[in-house]
Amino acid sequence: MNKIIVIISALMLFGCNQVANKQGGSAKPSGSTNTKVEKAFISFRIGVPIWMSETRSNELFDLFDKYRRVTDEITFFTSETHAPLPLDVIRQRTVILKERMEQAGKRGYKTGINILTTIGHHNENLDNSLKGDYTYMTNINGEVCHGSFCPNDEKMREYIRNIYQLTAQANPDYIWIDDDIRFGHMPIGLGCFCDNCLKIFEKETGTKYTRESLKKVLNEGPVEEKLKLREEWLQHNRNTISRLFELIEKTVHGINQVMPLGFMTGDRFYEGYDFDNWAKILAGPNHTPVIWRPGGGYYNDNNTNELVGKSHDIGRQVSVLPEEVISIQSEIECFPYQRLKKAANMVVLEACSHIAAGCTGAAFNVLSMYDEPLDEYEPLVARLQESRPFFDLLAKSLGRTELTGIQTFWNKNSFITGKLAEGNWLSSGNPVVSHDLYNIGLPTCYSGKNAQVTILGKDNVFALSKEEIKNLLSGGVYMDAETLQQLNDMGFGGLTGFEVVGSEKIDRIEKFTSHPLNGQFAGRKRDNRQSFWKSPAFTLRKTDKNAQVLSGLVDYTGREVSGFTSGIVENKLGGRICVAGYYPWTFMENLSKSSQMKAVFRWLSKDSLPGYIDSFQKINLWIRKSENGKIALAFTNSSFDPAKDIALMLRTENKTIKLYDMKCGKTVIRSSGEDGPYQKFIIPEVDSRQMRLVVSE
């Protein structure tokens, strides 16, 4: 019986590999300049306690050999704690790492070193970490993080030069720079406002500040002045990281000019989100390949909605990378690596979801952080090996083609808009509007250049020039009432079509009108219980005779208290606008509201959306930009229930599609009808937390 199972498993893997058109031989080198992706870039990140022991290292290599093809690359951490280590410790470890990489290389794996702490993450293991006359990372109140250091400190730069020299001399196939290259560090929050950084900022702006005076002008005074100063500070942060990467690039490529450098990122709004420029710096004058690892949270599966939230974070990060960055391995992390914290199926789905959002592979940081046997992790490794053919198929089919659909607005300067009216700017948080719209089957994209519709939230308009706002309003825009008011105050009332005339904080219910976009749901109500989930209900008034009402407001007796809380208009530039005055971002998951939103976004796009899910299911959808009429998309059933008879609408003339499940099984589906430019494809059933890949027949 065991032999039969082995034979069947081998045949299944062979079939999937044929589907994915896998190339023979070892893994394609990270950072290849070939823009065509032939298979997923897969690596495992290995903690110090595992590789430090030769016995444990061999056990690890044997595990990977047993599940051959589960990974192509093995990446070794320099540290297990998050403050920089003394130089002598790095020197000792790189000697051992050189041996480990040679051992892994003989088994056919590419190997690299992940420098966990360049400037440091936060206070940890301080007794055994870097000490000396270095400048600590400093916040605007003068508080310091003893586990992180200012990258503008010349002595720290010399330390950094030394650790990268030692790492490059160990002759890895690549070097990863971890995500401590940022300015948010526990316990101090955002930095760096040390005296030296303030002197640099004085040279950049021509104005001298103390921490106290800078804090005051960042948070007080005219909006225009605050925006200007904040933008200058973001540029200061970009410059600081650029100088650091110039140092690292020159150091490494001075030893090995063809060694790929990689960088791990998150949603780096405060740092200025300058990924495209930083990638070019890391490539150096010889245009050496650069690799990337976007990430951000989701360490356990207690809250499964966080998985797709991380995919959206990652999608933004990928959207600004130069097209020549090919190896984009999403961070898959299960810190603190306790096996029951995240199910193997969720680890697999996470990797797939991030590929759908723009990555071309995954970096798995999921094994033990102790010197212990890996027995409990073997089922996870086996599950990942089983899923590897689907990773390859996704990466090959989607490649680096850009996403198209609906963008929630953001740009590199979005962080400057936080807490403009009052409060501490440095505690603003993520500036991107959080909403439920992507969970009902509308297509997600992360770049304005490929968006058919833009979702615009409060304050984000202040990150745009007036010309940019005008261009935005000449397309499709969905906004809330507060954004409407801001645009009108800025002089764009002639393009918005509405104005705000009142608001109520309790006891208001949305009621749909008989407008055609509401279809069969005219008269339906949507009660989001303002007493529980606080959100004002706004009353609007038309300022354009062509404006149309989608819904009004009633109270708990059914009495109409406002005839107009949401509506649409086509302005004189041809732009289509929808303003939502009642819970514009949340509670979209009932049949009537989700159906209305799909009709609204299709109208806003003038039927240019690449596709959407017309049926009533919780589905996340990513559609790649069509090339030569070819379709490539992926979607996830994000519900705990199976999804039956999914109606996938695609803007195409193709009458057939190929549907692949996560075992690479193929089904050909034919169109069951048309609706304008859209073909309708019915997908019989997709199990809970499963992804499907769709490509042209």
Given a contact cutoff of 8 angstroms between Cβ atoms, the answer to whether 258 and 288 are in contact is yes
| Helix runs in 185-222, H state only | 195-205, 211-219
The pLDDT value given to residue 628: 81
> Nearest 5 degrees, angle CA 340-CA 342-CA 348?
130
pTM: 0.94
Q: Per residue in 581-613, is it b (16+ CB within 10 Å) or e — as a string?
A: bbbbbebbeeebbbbbbbbbbbbbbeeebbbbb
CA atoms within 13 A on the CB side of 689: 14
CB 567 within 8 Å of CB 578: yes
- What distance in Å separates the CA atoms of residue 285 and residue 254, rounded to the nearest whole number? 11
- Count CA atoms within 13 Å of residue 586 on its CB side: 11
What is the DSSP secondary structure assignment for residue 527, as one 8-state letter? -
Residue 644 to residue 683: CA distance in whole angstroms: 7
> Rounded to an integer, what distance in angstroms lies between the CA atom of residue 609 and that of residue 611?
5
Cα–Cα distance measured from residue 671 to residue 648, given in angstroms and rounded to the nearest whole number: 10
Q: What is the pLDDT of residue 36?
A: 87
- Supply the pLDDT for residue 626: 87
Q: What pLDDT, on the 0 to 100 scale, is given for residue 422?
A: 86
Show the domains of the chain with their CATH numbers: 405-604 (3.40.50), 619-696 (2.60.40.1180)
Return the structure tokens found at 552.
Answer: 């009004």
Q: Which of 183, 694, 123 is nearest to 394 (CA)?
A: 694
Output the DSSP codes for 220-283: SS-HHHHHHHHHHHHHHHHHHHHHHHHHHHHHHHTT-TT--EEEEE---TTTT--HHHHHHHHH
Using the Cα atoms of residue 216, residue 219, residue 223 and residue 226 in order, give the sign of their dihedral.
positive
List average pLDDT for each run of 10 residues in the chain, which is 697 residues long: 38 41 33 69 98 96 98 98 98 98 98 98 97 98 98 98 98 98 96 98 98 97 96 98 98 98 98 98 98 95 93 98 97 94 97 98 97 96 98 97 98 97 92 95 96 96 96 98 98 98 96 98 96 96 97 97 97 98 97 98 98 98 90 97 98 96 98 97 98 93
Judge contact between 696 and 629, C-beta under 8 A: yes
Which residue bears the tokens 């780096």? 268
DSSP 582-643: S-SSS---SHHHHHHHHHHHHHHTTS--SEEE-SSS-EEEEEBPPBTTB-EEEEEE-SSS-E
Beta bridge partners of 175: 113, 261
Other beta carbons less than 10 A from residue 545's beta carbon: 7
Q: Return the pLDDT at 385.
A: 98
Instruction: Using the Cα atoms of residue 409, residue 415, residue 417 and residue 418 in order, give the sign of their dihedral.
Output: positive
Q: Which residues contact 106 (CB under 8 A, 6 or more apart)?
A: none
**Contact call for residues 86 and 131 (beta carbons, < 8 A):** yes
Q: Answer whether 314's CB lies under 8 Å from 360's CB.
A: no
Structure tokens at 476: 């499709």
Q: What is the pLDDT of residue 672?
A: 97
Helix 344-356 and helix 305-319: axis angle, to 10°? 30
Return the structure tokens found at 71. Answer: 């990974």
Angle between helix axes 344-356 and 378-398 (nearest 10 degrees) is 20
DSSP letters for 122-167: SS-SGGGS--SS-PEEEBTTS-EEEEEE-TT-HHHHHHHHHHHHHH
3-state secondary structure of 367: coil
Q: Is 407 helix (H, G, I), strand (E, B) or coil?
A: strand
Amino acid 356: pLDDT: 98
Q: Looking at residue 31, what is its pLDDT?
A: 36
User: Which is it for strands 73-77 and 41-46: parallel, antiparallel or unpaired?
Assistant: parallel
Q: What is the dihedral of CA 417, 354, 116, 46, to 10 degrees?
A: 170
User: Can you give the pLDDT at residue 7?
Assistant: 37
Per-residue pLDDT reduced to its tens digit, 39-63: 999 999 999 999 999 999 999 999 9
